[in-house]
Amino acid sequence: MSAHSAGGGSGGSIWLEAKTITGNGYLKVEGGPGGGGGGRIAAIASTSYSFTGQASAKGGADASKNTGSSGK
């Protein structure tokens, strides 16, 4: 699952709420080119959480390779 933007926008958000979250894969909310900040990820499991994949909320880089702030 991913959410992203171009032109310096923020990475958006993912809100994942379930009784059980398991498996692997990617959760990405990365900022767009132009220095956009990273987004936010919320993964809430009421019973069992065993997600072994990757989550990324890093900022995008501008033309000078300055990177936007990471999300939380």
Write down the pLDDT at residue 20. 97
pLDDT at 58: 86
The answer to whether position 68 is within a domain reads no
Residues of the chain with pLDDT under 50: 5
What pLDDT sits at residue 7? 60
Q: Residue 34 belongs to what domain range? A: 13-56
**Closest C-alpha to 43, from 13, 3, 70:** 13
| Confidence (pLDDT) at 72 | 62
- Report pLDDT for 61: 83
> In this structure, is residue 7 part of a structural domain?
no
Give, in order, the Cα–Cα distances in Å from 3 to each of 19, 38, 57, 60.
Answer: 23, 10, 10, 13
pLDDT at residue 60 in the model: 85
- pLDDT value at residue 48: 96
Q: Is residue 69 part of a domain?
A: no
pTM of the model: 0.75
The reply to whether 71 falls in a domain is no
Strands (DSSP E) contained in 24-70 are: 26-28, 40-51, 54-56
What pLDDT is stored for residue 1 in this prediction?
Answer: 65
